[in-house]
Amino acid sequence: MTPALLARLLSGEGAALLASLPPYDEAEAFSLGDRLRGEGFDADLVAAALTQSRLRARGERKFGEAAHTMLFTVDGLEQATRQQVARLHARRLSDSGGRRLFDLGCGVGADARAFAEVGLRVAAVDADEVTAAVADFNLRAWPHATVTHDLAENVALPSGPGARDVAVWLDPARRTPGVSDIQGRTRRTFRLDQLAPSWDLVRELSAGAAAAGVKLSPSFPHARIPLGTQAQWTSYDGEVVECVLWWNDAAWDPGRSAVVVSGQFAHEVLERDAEGANPEPARLDRLHGYLYEADRAIIRAGLSGALVRRVDGAELDTGVGVVTSPRDVVVPWAKKYAVTDAIPFNIKALRSWVRDNRIGHLTIKKKGASVDPAQLRRQLRLRGDNDATILVTRVGGAQAVLMLVPVR
């Protein structure tokens, strides 16, 4: 997509063509393109319109029905913050005293839309000309939001007493420019020294703002958390989607934390929630009635101890995020199972258990264990009419198998 082609798509014939397209159907896209070109539409315009139709359909999982009123780039949609998560960002910066928001590296405008929605005056920039134009289109409903094609390095942030209500949001580019893959995506980088703007500038701008948030990869290392900031890992429906560093007035609880988002609910776990947890791992001969599996954001933040404390239990092994307890506790950020049996990991013993219980369908979960579920399923020679769930994991440093029944 070039700036000229995007301008054509947003006006006159292009806009009418995009509005006339039926709901996207991958199986029909090729023949639809042929028909539109046969009707006299320019091939580049048809390709651009069909690409937007495809991206809008994909965008529903992040933006719901609003996706069909937005524009996207391939990289921009993949990197865009989900609508529910963006609203959490916006509320936090607004509640931290922000009234003016500088969005440096706005992408397609996912977070900027949420900032504008809560009333923040948004000044957004993006280094890519097409992406900036797409974001400008996506923010057209909010007159108090502007988008400029520029580098974050060129933005002069307010200073002095007049900057007390200024918040900064940074989403550094985590893709390297150059050749894209067959889907149009460029290569992702996980290295801090390859961010754009640079990691040094990100820290400088964030530290100088009254309140700031920096969206980074979920793989952000604990050892690189700047002093006094809050590193917050967030999951959405079980998938860890980001780590945000909160600075100054937005760092409400410095240290590590996790937010688990499911539907319209968000549950936060803080570092202090894990303090004082029982450090002793569980023992296979002392496994009790229930097993709790922490959400991945909790595990990534290194806060399994919060689950240990919550259920008054013991972690199966350090870092696996699975806790055993005799107590039946409601934990909204953990899955719960009843444990029916537990044995050391042994193919022959497990095969006997499968045969004796006539297991024909087996769900195999693993945590901290070096097994291939598909290969294990073949080795067990499943035959029978019953279903079962097992967890292959470590208990006290040794591999074990736990037989489970999900508890709702």
DSSP 251: -
Radius of gyration in angstroms for the set of CA atoms belonging to the chain, rounded to a whole number: 25
Mean of the pLDDT values across residues 141-153? 97
Closest by Cα among 345, 344, 353 to 382: 353
* pLDDT at site 29: 93
Mean of the pLDDT values across residues 104-124? 98
* pLDDT at site 186: 55
Q: How confident is the model at residue 92 (pLDDT cuts 50, 70, 90)?
A: very high
Closest by Cα among 232, 291, 292, 289 to 266: 232
| CA atoms of 351 and 358, how far apart (whole Å) | 10
**pLDDT > 90 fraction of the chain, expressed in percent and rounded:** 87
Indicate if the pLDDT at residue 50 is higher than 70. Answer: yes
* pLDDT at site 143: 97
* pLDDT at site 312: 95
* pLDDT at site 174: 66
Residue with tokens 């958390």: 225
Q: How confident is the model at residue 20 (pLDDT cuts 50, 70, 90)?
A: very high
Task: Name which residue leads in pLDDT, 92 or 194.
Answer: 92
Which run of H or of E encompasses 292? strand 290-294
Indicate if the pLDDT at residue 188 is higher than 90. Answer: no
Can you read off the two tokens belonging to residue 393? 């994991």
Mean of the pLDDT values across residues 369-389? 93
Is residue 139 within 8 A of residue 145, CB to CB? The reply is yes
Cross-strand bridge partners of residue 235: 240, 260
Residue with tokens 């703007």: 197
Axis crossing angle, helix 110-117 with helix 129-138, rounded to the nearest 10? 30
Is residue 403 within 8 A of residue 390, CB to CB? The reply is yes
| CA atoms of 390 and 353, how far apart (whole Å) | 11
Q: What are the angstrom distances between the C-alpha of 358 and each of 88, 154, 349, 381? A: 48, 68, 14, 11
Q: How confident is the model at residue 244 (pLDDT cuts 50, 70, 90)?
A: very high
**Ordered alpha helix ranges (H), 241-365:** 296-300, 304-311, 347-356
Cross-strand bridge partners of residue 95: none
One-letter-per-residue 3-state SS of 171-222:
CCECECCCCCCCCCCCCECCCHHHCECCHHHHHHHHHHCCEEEEEECCCCCH
Mean of the pLDDT values across residues 22-48? 94
Mean of the pLDDT values across residues 212-223? 96
Which run of H or of E encompasses 32? helix 26-38
Is residue 111 within 8 A of residue 89, CB to CB? The reply is yes
Mean of the pLDDT values across residues 308-313? 96
Mean pLDDT across the chain: 93
**Ordered alpha helix ranges (H), 313-386:** 347-356, 373-380
| CA atoms of 326 and 311, how far apart (whole Å) | 8
* pLDDT at site 175: 53
Mean of the pLDDT values across residues 161-170? 93
| CA atoms of 235 and 297, how far apart (whole Å) | 5
Closest by Cα among 210, 298, 309, 307 to 261: 298
* pLDDT at site 183: 55
Mean of the pLDDT values across residues 369-377? 92
Is residue 263 within 8 A of residue 289, CB to CB? The reply is no
Q: How confident is the model at residue 408 (pLDDT cuts 50, 70, 90)?
A: confident
